[in-house]
A and B are shown apart, each in its own frame.
Chain A
Amino acid sequence: MTKNLRVKSSEYIDETNRVSFKFNGKTYHGFKGDTLASALLANDVHLVGRSFKYHRPRGIMTSGSEEPNAIVQINPNSNITEPNVRATEVEIYEGLEASSQNCWPSVEFDIGGINNFLSPFFPAGFYYKTFMWPSSFWEKYEFFIRHSAGLGKSPTTNDPDIYDHRNVHYDVLVVGAGISGILAAKNAAKNNFKTLLVDEKNEIGGSTIFENNEFNKIDSKTPSEWLKKEIEELKNIKNLEIKTRTSVAAYHQYNYILARENLTDHLEVKDKKNKIRQRLLKIRAKKVILATGALERPLIFNNNDRPGIMLSSAIRKYSEFYGVACGNKNVFFTNNDSAYESALSLYDKGINVEAIIDIREQSESKIVKKVKEAGIKIYWSHSIVDTAGYKRLNSVTIMKLSNDGTSVTGSKIPISCDCLGVAGGWTPSVHLYTQSGSKLKFDDEKKIFLPNQNTSDQISVGSCDGDFKLNEILINLNKKIKEMLNIKQTDFDSIKVEIDQENSKRNIWLLPSDKPLGKTKPFVDYQNDATAKDIKLALREGFRSIEHVKRYTTTGMGTDQGKLGNMHALGIIADTAGLKMGELGTTTFRPPYTPLTFGTIVGRNVGKFFDTFRRTPMNDWHLENKAKFENVGQWKRAWYYPINEETMHQAVQRESKAARESAGILDASTLGKIDIQGSDASEFLNRVYTNAWSKLAIGKCRYGLMLNEDGMVYDDGVTTRLDENHYIMTTTTGGAANVLGKLEDYLQTEWPELDVYLTSVTDHYATASLCGPNSKKVLKKIIPNLDLSDENFPHMSFKKANIGNIQCRIMRISFTGEHSYEINVQASYGKDLWEKCMEAGKEYNITPYGTETMHLLRAEKGFIIVGQDTDGTMTPIDLQMDWIVSKKKYDFIGKRSLYRSDTMREDRKQLVGLLTDDPNIVLEEGAQIVSELNQSPVEMLGHVTSSYFSPNLNKSIALAVVRGGKDMMGKKLFVPMENKNINVTVANPVFYDEKNERLNA
């Protein structure tokens, strides 16, 4: 049987709109406007979860995003379930299902609860200490630890929801829509600042919106009435945008702010469909006003974690805002006046308040008098020494506190209760403030950290800046926004505030018990089960830095990031170690402020939008002809074209033979192309390539090798001189963007005197590479009027021609060692060109080949691929390409480095060919090479960089880099593999047509 604890109607709860939901399989009812937490509390459900380490029963503690305990699983039976959601933030809707986490078989009976009784065996650092021995066993321990760790269950299928990102720009961003934020935003917008006001709650107004007690008045109205009128006025203000359910996750430098806007989580399932669930707002604001408020602190005493123990301010919010009583027999425990407001809130609704236990000696404020008049018993100078009730609080035991607050005396007084409100004072929410890089100072009197040094155009206003009294808040706010916005007046200059608020507080970080600390459980971090005892143990073991203590004890490391207990942890450390809190500092508050879903982080960049990919103009033909593709940089390149059931090996062997025996065609459109123009273009090429360019005739092509300034090979490709001051450079497919960037860098920063202009034209041209002894005949058929004789159009030269009306550039260059042509046309004609070549080549059985065959053919010729046979540690000399390094040129990029003692060493790794003794064995690329088999450890001489079975040579061939390989020609080496050793012989890397006779075949 469930009780109904709805005690008053509230304008924020729509009691005509009944909502049913399931929690742990049982159906409950709440109303539209309820959070899961308020609805459960209205049904008298406090027990919602189990703690992380000891599996202690835990209940709802707060009413907001700081909640450490009430962490639930949404849609627990679905494969798109969502873990670690705060029940205090979930707005209920018809059909919502949620369940407890970290308990098995159920939250009521949890096997893991045995950890609670074994807790003396789980001190801070337990895992670090226990599983260190023997060290080789870590992997075995890890398996079990991983299984018992973690709170919720991850979803098992892709998230079907839609997420979005949006860039927005404002003059003023106001974070937090309590009274300070609302007034700040209103006055900014009224003064023509484009303003955005965000709040994580579904309603704006903060805690002032339910501030109804008789002691505080603004312009003779209760703060609540007054603020509602202000909110009403906001609707008519231009320049002001208000976003609720929007939580700022991160505040970066230069007022760059990330906020998550929750759009559909509160809607019924049918209304969520096809809508964006959450949107990440990327906000740039000229000015930021932080009005993030303050969080109430708990008190740290023995067994302070039972279900039914809550923050006093949360009890008040549930009562005033949601109309829910959290208990029938309420007790408050406090060190300041806030608890009295909560007590009166309950008392006014006829809910039983048994007692207030106050660690102060006295308070004379009006509100305390009013509580006395109400007949509520107040125990001054008393402290709770223990609580009872396993799954729900049923009593507290109190004792008299000694004058210095370090011990308790007298007799124990038990007080029966089912709900305890704890009030330990207020902690300004400075998380976002420090994320921005701004610095805090410690206020020793108020025992709080406050904003001190701003790094960007920002202010903190209201209680996040340490103003807790209504009059202080409004006076300081008025002054600060005038200064920031540079305005003369605001609309609350002449406001009249009457208050009766007392700030008197007695701060004791760790309250004493009649038992020694070792026998008590005063929790500091509820979610991670870190107690005051753990913190003291860490200090005894020598930890001093707050960052170290945090990690050793896990204090503040849960999904709540210790929003409640961090200050106590600091206080206990300071007290124990005899340090000042200001010197101790805080741990770093890192983004996000509250957890973000992965969906929000990635937005629309999922699936095919995860990364950009590029396709060539011929792509459709490759698809139609069943090509397999490989990724090269961002490009999708045709890898091979299997016919029928061919394997990759079979296809590549067939393609390779065809290219050498008749005609092959390759889509080379992806090669980087840079158009170079200017009167100093030749000089520029001289400086960036290792070889000489001044004497290259117009209409000729030349292969060039480009180094980094450290002498290592960076890129290569053929560059053609189109005209006196006009070249077209080709780069490797993957290196195109970097090469252009590097060349621009030199032009702009080192050689600004050169008259050279660079343009990337990679995407402007489509390239078909025709190769093989019949390539000339194929080209002749396409362009009959072009003289293809060796005299007119020799190897390494260039012609302009027309295919029909289409202009094209043809280079007679070869990456396969065969007679071949690269035909370039405007990209949009690429597919047309390709189809013409296929048609013309039909009689020669022209064979399209992909990148794999291209790699094989060039390996037969010993041509390197930068990035495969080189790895940023190979000089041209290491590659045995001395021939391309000009000795005459005074300078080029990387030249000086080729004469460093290290680059001139004889025993550097050098590129060689490798032949296996058994020609049928193909080496694995990356395999290590040694010269000795019976030695241990053995020196690794190098590794295999390229390896193929060559159908043209009918044997396996490989390229490798080997230490001192240049002088090892003919030497026998070994490639040790897992099950066998392969015998190899060092060979010339040019395996095929060493005399280059086929170029003119």
Chain B
Amino acid sequence: MFLINCPYCGERDQQEFKAGGEAHIERPKQPTELSDDEWAEYLFMRKNIKGVQFERWNHAHGCRKWFNMVRDTSNDEIKAIYKMGEKPPSQ
């Protein structure tokens, strides 16, 4: 059970949070310009890395804010947490 440092509320138990999948997948600005394959790439394709992964998390039972997390999926070490819109830390 992680201890997550919400950038707005501080350290809270994992059960207050909801995981939201891979981070930094931007919704295309002009979807109609995309081919089926390009749209499918955005819609369905997600990485599932063993190692350092960038993820979206939501403090669902708290401030309801979304933020990003860098997590090593092999040992669940949370390497960084940063707000939406902020630049991801360089690896």
Contacts and interface: CB of A to CB of B under 8 A. Distances in A.
Given A455-B75, A745-B58, A256 B43 contact: no
A890 B32 contact: yes
Nearest to A896: B31
Interface in B37-91: 39-40, 43, 56, 58, 60, 64-66, 75-77, 84-85
Contacts of A895: 31-32
Interface stretch (A77-85, A195-203, A747-755, A816-824): A747-755
Interface of A: 252-256, 284, 437, 455, 709-710, 741, 744-745, 748-750, 752, 890-891, 895-897, 899-901
12 contacts: A255-B3, A437-B76, A455-B77, A748-B65, A748-B66, A749-B56, A749-B66, A750-B27, A891-B30, A896-B28, A896-B31, A897-B43
B43 A891 contact: no
A748 B84 contact: yes
Nearest to A902: B36
Contacts of B65: 748
B43 A252 contact: no
A749 B30 CA distance: 17
Contacts of A750: 26-27
Interface residues of B, number: 28
Nearest to B66: A748
Contacts, number: 58
B32 A744 contact: no
Contacts of A752: 84-85
Contacts of B84: 748-749, 752
A252 B1 contact: yes
A900 B32 contact: no
Nearest to A891: B31
Given A896-B34, A900-B39, A745 B1 contact: no
A253 B1 contact: yes
Nearest to A746: B27
Contacts of B2: 253-254
Nearest to B78: A254
B75 to A, nearest CB: 6
B7 interface: no
Contacts of A741: 18, 58, 60
Nearest to A748: B66
Contacts of B27: 709, 750
B39 A284 contact: no
A99 B26 CA distance: 65
B6 to A, nearest CB: 14
Contacts of B76: 253-254, 437
B32 A891 contact: yes
Contact of B75 (A437, A897, A900): A437
Contacts of B43: 709-710, 897
A891 B43 CA distance: 15
B40, B65, B66: most-surrounded residue (chain A CB, <10 A): B66
Nearest to A900: B36
B39 A896 contact: yes
Nearest to B68: A749
A813 B2 CA distance: 47
Contacts of B20: 745
B18, B31, B36, B65: most-surrounded residue (chain A CB, <10 A): B31
Contacts of B64: 744
A256, A455, A748, A752: most-surrounded residue (chain B CB, <10 A): A748
Given A284-B13, A437-B75, A896-B31, 5 more contacts: A256-B1, A709-B27, A745-B66, A749-B66, A900-B36
Contacts of A748: 65-66, 84
Interface in B1-25: 1-3, 13, 18, 20
Give the top 6 A-B pairs by smallest Cβ distance, nearest first. A896-B31, A256-B1, A254-B3, A748-B66, A750-B27, A252-B1
